[in-house]
Each structure stands twice: as C-alpha cells, then as structure tokens.
Chain A
Amino acid sequence: MPIEIPKDKWPGSIRKVTLGATAAEGGTRAKTVTVGGQATMPYLHFEAPTPNQPVVAIEIKSRKPEDWSPLLAEVWGEAMADPAKWAKAAEAAGADLIVLALTLADTPDDAVKAVKSVLGATGLPVIVWGPGQAEKDNELLVPVAEAAKGEKLVLGLCEDKNYRTIVATAMANGHLIQCRTPMDVNLAKQLNILITDMGLPADRILMDPTTGALGYGIEYGYSVMERLRLAALQGDSMTQMPLIVTPGFEAWKAKESKVGEGVPAAWGNWKERAVHWETLTAAALMESGADILILRHPESVKRIKAAISELVTA
C-alpha cells in the first residue's frame, strides 16, 4: 500500500543574505556566500528544496590568544600569531568564511591593519567581531567599517544595549551585522525590530540566538532556534533572518574539551573527545536550522562539512 507523506506548506521563508562583495560589486572578495532562502524546516527536502546549504566559518583572532586550548594551539601552530597566515590556513582547512575576532589590546589602527591583512590574505567573505565591550567595540568597529567600505563585512556583535553605533556604521559603509540575544525568542525578535527601525534592511542582518555547548544548555539553544525558525516560516518577518551560531566558542569553553588532565580516565582520549564535543555541538545546531556555524578546530570543520553534504544530498 503506498503511503503518502504529509507535507506542510509554510506561508513564510527565510531571507536570503549575501556576505562579501566581489570586485564587480564594489569589494575585493573572490566569491560571495549566500545563506537562507529555506521555505521549510531543516532538511525536509520532500517539502521544499534547500536553496543554500549551511556554511562553516573558522574563528581566528587579531592576536595570538593565550587562553585557547593547547589542542588548538597545536593544530594552528605559528599561524596563530599572524591573522593573515591564520586566515590562509583556515581557508585551506575548508572554511567558507573567516571570523576575525579583535581583542581588547587592539588600537583602532591595529584593528584596521588586521582586517586589511586578512582581506588581503583570503578571498573569502569576512566577519569581524569587536572584543565584546560596548565602548571598545564601537571604537574598533567604526574605523574598520570605514576602511573596508563596500566589502560587505559582517560586523558583530550587536546587542540590545549596544546596537546603534554598529548599525549606523554598517548602514553608512554597506556592511551586514550579526546581532546577538541571550537565548530567547522574543529578545531575538525585539533586537531585529530595533535594528530595522533604524533603517538597516532586513537582508543585512544575521541572527545569533546564543547557544550552549553539548551538556551546557544546548537543548535550550536548540529549542529557541527551532521556535525562531517556526515563527519565521509562519510568516513573522522579524524572525526570518538566517541563524549564525558559535559552537566552536561554546564547545571549547567546556571542561570536556579544554582540559586533558585531572579528568576521569573513562573520558578517554582528550583530543578525540574535544573534537567530538565541538562536532556534536555544531551538528545539533545545524539540525535545528543554523545557517552559519563558527568553528575552531580544522578536524571539526572537516566532519561538519561532510555531515552537511550528506544532509543536503540525502
């Protein structure tokens, strides 16, 4: 007996957002990356095609991070001391995008220099994060946005108490923004409203709903993403932004990845466990609808990219 699979038809869809600009579009990128466009829940190919598959970004920093796990230092080696080299290595490791995180030690000149050197070293679209303190973010991101005018960078992180300056400079210089809210559907939507109220077109916003690592609240992050996606498909235009998440940052904070000593023997091989932790965190988020996954370890990148291609060709 033939079984008919029930199909949902949604009134809404996710906005297409393009990162980066080629020379023809006023930038210097070798290629652009487009995410979004889905008209159904993730990977339900029988309901609607997935026009743009999830992409992987690799996070690098403007200065060598001292607090990263030795496992990451081991795999990136010397490149960590030079953002241009690190960006090249990341591209070679399979990244679709580069995230350049600026640090508190950077001056505006340092920040501009780091961004320019990364833009020179790679043809991939670039996401630039401030160090995460409102005033310092504004101080660094404004000159960066001006120096890279037309590149269609993504500037982050915009939060509800700190969005005006970043949004204003993104509008003036043709960039995108990554806006972050603390794991709440309403807060995510509210920040999108505030930002579009300022006049930034909705197709220049990536939504970062915040997540936790495996074992550290990932279920909550997962369900917030799922609810955002459901609201978007139901036609709520202020939740139809593509989702960008940071499983690398979250997973490498977890004791299970970070620490190799003083843990139970049953936890097994540290390096394997650490990569598993990052991969599993990322895979769960991917399945809940993430469009951009930001990772740290090249092995995780490889595994996640394999998982993506299996899911989209299934």
Chain B
Amino acid sequence: MTNHTITFTLADSKTVTVQARTGSLLSEAARQAGVEIGQPCGGQGRCGRCLVQVTAGPVRRRSTLRLANEDIQQGFALACQTVIEGDAAVFVPPQEKIERRLTTDRVAAEVSVPAGYEYSHAQTVRRVHLTLKSPSMDDQTDDWSRLQTALRTQLGINDTGISLGLMQKISAILREGEWRVTAILATMNPETPETSPTRIVALQPGHVDEYSPLWGIAVDIGTTTVSLWLVDLVSGQARAQVAEYNGQIARGEDVISRIVYAGKDGGADEMRSLVLGTINGLLETACKRVKASPQEVVKAAISGNSTMIHLLLGIPAGNIRLSPFITAVNHPPLLTGIETGLAIATDAIVDCLPGVASYVGADITAGVLSSGLNNAEEVTLFLDVGTNGETVLGNRDWLVTCACSAGPAFEGAGVIHGMRATAGAIEEVWINSETYEPGLRVIGGGKPKGICGSGLISLLAEMLLTGILDKGGNVALTVNSKRVREGDHGPEYVVVWGAETETGQDIVISHVDVDNLMRAKAAIYAGFTMLAQQVDFKLEDVHKILIGGSFGKYINVEKAVQIGLLPDVPWERFEFLGNTSVRGAYYALLDWRERENIRQIASRMTYIELSADNTFYDAFMSAMFLPHTDMDKFPSVSAALNKSS
C-alpha cells in the first residue's frame, strides 16, 4: 500500500496535512487530520453535508448523485464517497456554503422589487403637494371646495371623493399647514388616471418629503399562518416581513370547522376579531421595526382562501361548506381601513384580491401570479403546500385547479413539537443509519425549540430510510436505540434530548404526528395526481414543479419525494418559491397591472371539484403509505430503500 499526502485547506486558510493510503476515503483522512467534516447520515453519501472541493490530485467518486456537472468539474466531491488515489489538495468549505451546491436542496428566492418598478406609473395611490389660497373676506369659499379647486387647477382632477371622517378634519389640517397640505390620493381607475374618480385617503399639514416612505401592507391570511409584509410604496421595497399563527386556530384547524364555529351565536364576530387581532399584532411588530405608525399605512392588498376572506370581512361563510359550495363573494369591492377593522389609516384602500371558488381563493390566484405560471410556455404544476393543498396545472393558455384539505401539519401545527419556520426551528434532520443518532440544522443556529415543516419532511424521510418507520408509518420499537421508545402518545423517536433544547423538554416525533403528516402529504399528492389525471396529463411530462408554502426558506426535494409528498421526477424540475400568496399580494399592492393580471387569472382558471366521486378517496388511501402504495411510481425511493436495507 502506498501512502499519499493529503492537504486540507480550511475556510480560514489554515492547512493541515496527513498521510493516507490508496483506496481510503477522504472523510477518513479528514478525521485523521482533525478536520471537522459533517457526516450526519453516517457516511453513506445520503446527505451531502461532507461536500469538499478537490483542488488537485487524483480521486475517484463513488457517487455523484447530489452534485451538478459544473460542480464536479470544479472539483466538488462528497468526502465520504471519495476514494484517494494519489497526493491531493482539498478545500473544506464552510457549512453554510454547502447547501446551495446540492442538487436536492431548494432555497426560496429573496424578495426583490420588481424590475422597472416606477411608483408614479404603477401605483394607484400617490402623494401630492397642494398649495391653497388663504381665505379672506374677498374669498369666502368653503374649505372643501378650496381643496377641490386646488386639485382641479394644480393636478387636473375633477372628480374627488372624501369620507366624513376626513371632512371632519379638513379645516384643522389646512390651517395647521397654513394652507399647504400633502394629500394621499387613490385613483379608482388607474388605466385612465386623468379622468378617473379619485379618493382622498389621507391629508397631512404642510408638504411632506416626496421621497419619504408611503406605507402599504401585503397580507396573506392562511388558515394556519398569517404573513404580512410592510412595503414602502415609493421605493417598492418590502421593509419588514412578519408572520404568526392565525389566532383562529384555537377555534378549529381547518376551514370547515372555522365555518361551523362562525355559524354559532357570536361566532362570526369572534372569528373576525381573532384574525384582526393577529393581523393588527403583526402590523404593529412590522411598523416598530421601521419606526412607523400603523396609522400611516394607506393601502393594503389582502390575499387568503375564500373562507379566510369571508371571516375577515364578517361575511357569512356557511354556504361555502354546503353543496353546491357557493361563496357570498369571490371578488370583494375596494374597502377602507375603518370598514375592515384593520388598524391602518381610517380611509386606507383595502383591496381583497379575487378568488375563483369556495375552495380556490385569492391565495391561489395571487400564488399563480407570483409563480409566473400564467406566463409559462410549457405545462407547469404549482403546488401550494398549505392547510388547503391547492394545486394548479397549466401554462399561459390554460389553467386547471383543485383543492384538498391537507391540514396544518407542514406548517408545524397539529404536530406536538411542531413550530413555524422561525429561529429555533429544526429545519433539517439526518439520521445515522447505524447509531440512529440525528444530525440537525436549526434556524438561527441556537438551541432547538421545535421542528418546522421542512424539518418534519426530512425527519420523516430519514426515519423511513433508516428503518425507524415502516412504510405504513409505524414506529418500529424493535430498533436498537434509546431514542425509540413508548411515549405518552404511543411509540416515538426522540429528536433532541431535553438537555440540549431551549425548553429543557425532549423534542420528539410521535406516532400520532407521523400519522398527521402522512394524511397531509397523502391529500396533497392525491390532489395533484387526480388533477393531472382529470386533464389526461402525465406527471412525468410536467416541465416544472413550483412549490409554494410556509416552509421558511428551505426545502429538500429529495426528502419530500422520499415521503411521497412530491412526485418522483428529476430534482432539477422542482423550484421552491416560499410563500407565494403574500408575494402575489405584494406584486398586486405595488402595481395595478399585476392586480389586473390576478383578476384575469381568476377568470381563466377552471376549478375541478375532487369530491364529485370516490376516486379521490382511493387516490388518498393509496398515498397513505411511505412513499406510496404503488412503489412503481417512486423508482428512486425504491432504490434508496433497497440500498439502505
């Protein structure tokens, strides 16, 4: 056996050199050198966390499954799968650089202001400076007429509306600013701004700096999670992004139980104030971050499923639940802050985006807009992995959609140690297939508090691959590890011992949690497979699969395929978009043309009702297995399972 010299260069430019034999692994040489390389999967080439860059020397890769071609050309290799065949130089990249290189991992794109955003052309609200003539004994025109005259003569606006609330304040504001006033105007018809009726949204004394922020909010009311972005309408930038569980959760996890609750005496008022409480709380948090006041928010674009919009507006939602499933309104008119109860400017424009049907709401039309599906040339599948698993299939010529109740499990609710994707959430888990010890990644890097959706997906997949779960989702108590035990809710796996958690309590996943997650993934899988079947389209022919959902920033598509949440197609076809609903609302908030696109999307979508016969139930039961009862549909997972057993 020949010895070779292996030189490791670390991120801080330090180098370490060791001797290694022909045929030994880079990971072994690293261990010998005291160079820390993560191998949470136990060195099986499953996780890709031991990625290194071979800058010189002959090596042989046993597996390149997780690497893109250009990465291989640049020398990237998995240390646990790389055999030493001569002297070599190896660069060990820092952990956080690794995930973006792996073909299995998807990170949601950052939010950026749409290219070419110009406030003056795109916005329906604008800030104008007016200078009025002071009244005198010669000019006894009333204050309101004086303001209207200024609008007509200085801006050519002939038709202006104002609320009683603002009318009550006009006199004081005009005098306080000594007849110089800043008005926030909303155009009712942005296509023809010159002749459009205009409404005064706010008045401020004096001339406020033209370029100072003009605040708007984009809101997605999810059944489980509410997201709010505070946006400067002048620059177009989202200046704060916040999210919280919907306060209505305590009154039912799904839309049906919410509707039932709202139908009870006083229920509708309670539901309305619960969700307003959540939104207004988020508004306050977001405003504090940028030192603004909620009262300064002059425009809101609101997205959400049809039930959520009904409950927010206090519109009876009972008929959504009953055949033939009719909403009171799919496309509410423009409303104001005070009407809706949002703690924003009294006369702020509140725009609830249009939905399609009882179970395909504005969250999906906004989602389609932000995913770009409506402009796609090739047939594309858009999945919103939320409490209502909505799916859209189509391209720029046609769009079909369906919905199925998946439950809140992937948003971390309905799972004992589940949580939203915020600091302290475990977002990735790898389990060593020999010791059953887990390797974790925690958002923010601190002590773990719980597990978020992407963490649950990878946990479930790892438990399946290491044999802790059988394909039926049963925890195998026969596994030789003290982490697998009989718990309060049946058999469970301990992900983190109490000594290492934020709360001091063990973080576990129980049999009941697994069951909830399986139901959620089965409903979503059944939904999109049925939808594809209805239009006679094969899933393997779908050009791209766009995934939306409140997973935080990250999802591992390989793991999502392994549990049968996503179809077994090549990884490069998946794209993760994050919360597409709030993003769509953001685009609509900024640009009236995007708002118009959403309206068109809503009118173009064909809704397919899955509950019309029992084939959905059949597809659901078939998907209630890991990954699926029909293993032929999951060849890559079959191969991975055979390899690991």
Spell out A's residues near B (CB within 8 Å).
160-161, 164, 184-187, 189-191, 193-194, 197
Contacts and interface: CB of A to CB of B under 8 A. Distances in A.
Contact of A186 (B476, B478, B624, B631): B624
B625 interface: yes
A190 B624 CA distance: 9
A190 B474 contact: no
A164 B476 contact: yes
A193 B474 contact: no
Interface in B542-561: none
B621 interface: yes
Interface string B590-628: 000000000000000000000000000010011011000
Contacts, number: 32
B207 interface: no
Contacts of A187: 621
A163 B491 CA distance: 15
A186 B472 contact: no
B486 interface: no
A197 B470 CA distance: 9
B629 A190 contact: yes
Nearest to B490: A161
A194 B472 contact: yes
B472 A189 contact: no
Nearest to A165: B478
A119 B581 CA distance: 68
Given A164-B476, A194-B471, A197-B471, 12 more contacts: A160-B474, A161-B474, A186-B622, A187-B621, A189-B629, A190-B629, A191-B472, A193-B471, A193-B629, A194-B470, A194-B472, A197-B470
Contacts of A193: 471, 625, 629, 631
In the A-B complex, list the 9 residue pairs whose CB atoms are closest, starting with the nearest.
Answer: A186-B621, A186-B622, A186-B629, A190-B625, A194-B472, A189-B629, A160-B472, A190-B629, A194-B470
B470, B478, B631 — most chain A CB neighbours (10 Å): B470
A109 B603 CA distance: 72
Interface in B432-486: 470-472, 474, 476, 478
Contacts of B472: 160, 190-191, 194
B511 to A, nearest CB: 9
Interface residues of B, number: 13
Contacts of A184: 621
Nearest to A184: B621
A186 B631 CA distance: 12
A237 B569 CA distance: 24
Interface of B: 470-472, 474, 476, 478, 618, 621-622, 624-625, 629, 631
18 contacts: A160-B474, A164-B476, A184-B621, A185-B618, A185-B621, A186-B618, A186-B621, A186-B624, A186-B625, A186-B629, A187-B621, A190-B471, A190-B472, A193-B471, A193-B625, A193-B629, A194-B470, A194-B472
Contacts of B618: 185-186
A193 B632 CA distance: 13
Contacts of A161: 474
Contacts of B476: 164
Contacts of A191: 472
A184 B631 CA distance: 18
A294 B355 CA distance: 56
A161, A186, A193 — most chain B CB neighbours (10 Å): A186
B525 to A, nearest CB: 13
Contacts of B625: 186, 190, 193
Contacts of A189: 629
A187 B624 CA distance: 9
B472, B478, B624 — most chain A CB neighbours (10 Å): B472
Contacts of A197: 470-471
B624, B625, B629 — most chain A CB neighbours (10 Å): B629
Nearest to B625: A190
A161 B629 CA distance: 17
Nearest to A191: B472
Contacts of A190: 471-472, 624-625, 629
A187 B478 CA distance: 23
A147 B118 CA distance: 85
A161 B474 CA distance: 7
Nearest to A161: B474
A98 B472 CA distance: 31
A193 B474 CA distance: 13
B464 to A, nearest CB: 11
A193 B622 CA distance: 13
Contacts of B474: 160-161, 194
A186 B622 CA distance: 5
Nearest to B631: A193
A190 B626 CA distance: 10
Nearest to B476: A164
A185 B625 CA distance: 13
A215 B478 CA distance: 42
A194 B476 CA distance: 12
A194 B469 CA distance: 11
A202 to B, nearest CB: 14
A184 B472 CA distance: 15
A212 to B, nearest CB: 17
Contacts of A164: 476, 478
Contacts of B624: 186, 190
B526 to A, nearest CB: 11
Nearest to B620: A186
Contacts of B478: 164
